[in-house]
Structure 1
Amino acid sequence: MTSYFQHAKFKVPVAHMRNVVGSFWRKSSALTGQYEPMSPSEVATVDGSPVPFRGDIPKYAGTEHQQTRKRFAEPRPLLEEVENLIATPLGGGWHDNCLFERYSSCKPGLRMLLENKVPTREVETGYVIQSEHVDTFGDWTSEYLTPLAGIANVDGPVFLPAAFAQKGYVRRDMARTSIDFQFVDAPILIKRAKVIRQQMYIRYWTPEYAQNLRRLLGAQPVSPKRGSMIYLSRHGEPSEVAVRTHPNLLIEKIVKDRGGIVLRTDDSSLEDYLAAGEHAETVLLDHGSAGYNLSYWQPKRVIEFVSDQWWMNSFLFFATSIGVPDYGIICTDQGSDDEIAKRLTDLLETPIA
């Protein structure tokens, strides 16, 4: 049974509280010269094009069936060279005894500020990916692989926070590339560091970033069989961040009754995803990192099951960036199982846009 403390309804307010608390020490540390946040101009955004969807409107998604892409107002340099950068296990990027947000591989927190930063070894050169999160496959895909995919020639080791060392999907993707990934298990002094800056605002995917990712992964999507359907069910899968609950068994039955197949993400391998591409004209998925396996498919329709307690528009932007013309959303917090089934049936029986 899922603990209440693992559920999104507990995790989300706790995350907000931690962010509020963190803002206080960041401000005070900046005043004392121990911390250098990114400037307002570096994080300012402008709106891009709206992306439509059908079905339900999530609680925090506004009032219209669309979400608007955003991008950074000022383009960032893809690479920023820094002399004598200290990279720490938690992802800190220290320069001249100051913790720099734009050189860190994870959003700076209080533990990072207090972390030991005395280097145990030195290297001549290497890459660090400026990022914010190290928790999920989605973080790895969008905040590490995607900016890395924008570098034409990675000619040195790429240093990763220690948290990634235990992630099976990181090890898997390391083995599939020729890149020299190294985990930072103790502070390292990089004499000539190359910091890869995030180009994409949060996870507001555009076709450029999605295609870069596909190229790095060597993805070769196949055309799905006409009328095929697959459901990526999170039934039985523990979340790396916060548990969300959906009527998985109900959705699985609806899909099977319509001749579709179910792929439970808890026990599916990369080979399973690759083999399932021919069954993916319509893809149903629970909101979660497994949605990035759309990289290997070319669906014509995607329907995402979301919770109002934990949702972001990342998969809407990602799917449309790989060319999916029809996107639907079902909020499983809204209504009974029968009502959810009815709304899902309506989406499935509407011709693909």
Structure 2
Amino acid sequence: MKVIGNLDWRHPMVRLRIWVATPIQKLLAAAGRWKPARKTELECEQKDQVTAVGDRGPQMRLAYKAPRSEFIDDTNIDYTPAGIALKNGVCIARYSIRPPSTVEILKSRTVKAARTIPAGTIIEAETPYTYGDWVGDFVLALTTAKNITEPLILPKVLADKSYVIRDVEALGISYIVADEAIRIEKARIMQKRVPSYYWGEDHVAAFREKFRITPPAPIPGSILYLGRFDTHSEAAQRVYPSQEVARIVESLGGTVFDTRNASPAKFDELAPHMETIIADQGSALFGVMHSQTKNVIELTQDDWWHSANLFIANGSGVENYAVVHIFNKTEADLRARIERHLREFGVKP
């Protein structure tokens, strides 16, 4: 379990760290050492309901109560390799890729820009740790924005991930990497306008348009399993019964895909075989944006689930979505649940 980085809230050391850091950061904010987001800027409201069945019921989409404009312009912003934005030595959470740590706040006045550029764009985000975070925050901003001031400045912590440069280049956006602190004289900050990953149809449409995706009609009756197998998570480690599910899917005449080999090109190739997807919970389910999938059965740890995939699937045109908890289930239990949902969805393997 990660304690530093993408915090796994289930871990007791993470809870202790947050308990210690929270009052310290409140004092530092009161002293003007950093600028956290205001409570009113983070408040959300529930909107559209999207149906899920199985071990999770219908879910409500979250939206910011105070709608945000596409961007904010500011001057003389220092941007660090970790993606923290500062002005006059003060960390600004709403300009950064995540809230700064206590150590970063304490060291903020020692940050010195190694070079200056006249203009550029940085992106406000919530979490910068996984591929799902990258797509949910950064790619969403890049595919829906109309007013990016190039170059895009990528913090080194992101640029070191192979999929980041791949996606930015696929979108045809010029960029530079902040491998040292950079001062941006005229900075454009693309605001995070969707809390977490609560995408709608318009967001999926923008993603497909910018990446030039035309989903093909699926082969009737096709089933694809997206298995994590021995995937090492960039966030909290999760373990799934991938081998057992692979046997079940193969016995149903479906195809098994190891998501460690996932890429946009691979999902374009797999799209005709994705009428029904059975998947271990994870960002590989974003592959539905490359397909005309009708049915999804998502397998998840009982205490680790986010509705992001449900909303992205709904925006992609998925008609039926089931969630199955995996704890304490034998292979026979999993088979029974999968076959039950396939029958409910009218799938005949």
TM category (shorter chain) comes to over 0.9
Change (3 A) 1:153 1:4: closer
**1:5, CA displacement in angstroms?**
8.9
Distance 1:270 1:68 in 2: 28
1:32-74 deviation per Cα after TM superposition (whole angstroms, max 9, x unaligned): 10111111211111110221111123xxxxxxx1111110011
**212 and 333 in structure 1: CA distance in 2 versus 1, 3 angstrom threshold:** same
**Counterparts of residues 224-243 of structure 1 (less than 5 Å):** 224-243=218-237
| Residue type of the alignment partner of 1:73 | K
Cα 1:253–1:335 shift into 2, 3 Å? closer
Q: Given that residues 107 and 131 in structure 1 are in contact (C-alpha distance below 8 angstroms), is that contact kept between their aligned partners in structure 2?
A: no
> Aligned pair 1:88/2:80, yes or no?
yes
| 2:42 aligned residue | 43
CA–CA separation in structure 1 for the residues paired with 2:116 and 2:46: 42
Kindly, what percent of the aligned residue pairs are identical? Answer: 27
Q: Deviations over 1:212-256 (max 9, x none)?
A: 222222222111011111011101211111221121111111111
Match of 2:179 among 171, 182, 185: 185
Secondary structure at the residue paired with 2:221?
A: coil
**8 Å CA contact retained: 1:334, 1:340:** no
Q: Could you tell me how far apart the structure 2 residues matched to 1:195 and 1:350 are?
A: 46
Q: 1:16 to 1:294 in 2, by over 3 A?
A: farther
Picking from 70, 74, 84, the partner of 2:62 is: 70
Letter in 1 for 2:100: P
> In the TM superposition, what is the alpha-carbon distance from 1:334 to its structure 2 partner?
4.4
Equivalences for residues 98-247 of structure 1 within 5 A: 98-113=90-105, 114=107, 116-247=110-241
Structure 2 partner of 1:292:
286
* Aligned-CA RMSD value: 2.2
Say which of 296, 304, 312 aligns to 1:302. Answer: 296
The list of structure 1 runs, each at least 4 consecutive aligned residues, that deviate by more than 6 angstroms after superposition, is 3-6, 8-11
Amino acid at match of 1:244: R
Once residues 69 and 24 of structure 2 are traced to their aligned partners in structure 1, the CA distance between those partners, rounded to angstroms, is: 28
Equivalent residue number for residue 344 of structure 2: 350
**Aligned runs of 1:304-319 on 2, under 5 Å?**
304-319=298-313
- TM-score of the superposed pair, with normalisation by structure 1: 0.91
What secondary structure sits across from 2:10 in the alignment? helix
Deviations 1:291-345 (A, max 9, x none): 2122211200011110023211111111111111100111001433322221111
| Residue 335 in structure 1 maps to residue 329 in structure 2 | yes
Question: Following the alignment from structure 1 to structure 2, what is the Cα–Cα distance between the partners of residues 109 and 4?
Answer: 15
Residue 151 to residue 5, structure 1, CA distance change in 2 (3 Å): closer
SS at match of 1:12: coil
SS in 1 for 2:288: helix
Residue of structure 2 equivalent to 1:30:
29
**Which deviates the most, 209-218 or 38-47?**
209-218
TM superposition shift of 1:137: 0.6
Unaligned runs of 5+ in 2: none
Q: What CA distance in whole angstroms lies between the structure 1 residues aligned with 2:21 and 2:201?
A: 34
| Local SS of the residue matching 2:76 | strand
The number of residues matched between the two structures is: 343
1: distance between equivalents of 2:215 and 2:126?
30
SS at match of 1:182: strand
List alignment gaps of at least 5 residues for structure 1.
Answer: 58-64
Instruction: Rate the CA distance shift 1:101–1:269 in 2: closer, same or farther, 3 A.
Output: closer
Q: TM-score, normalised by structure 2?
A: 0.92
1:77 deviates by: 1.4
Summarize deviations over 1:89-146 as a string: whole Å, max 9, x none: 1111111322111111222212332255211110110001001222111111011010
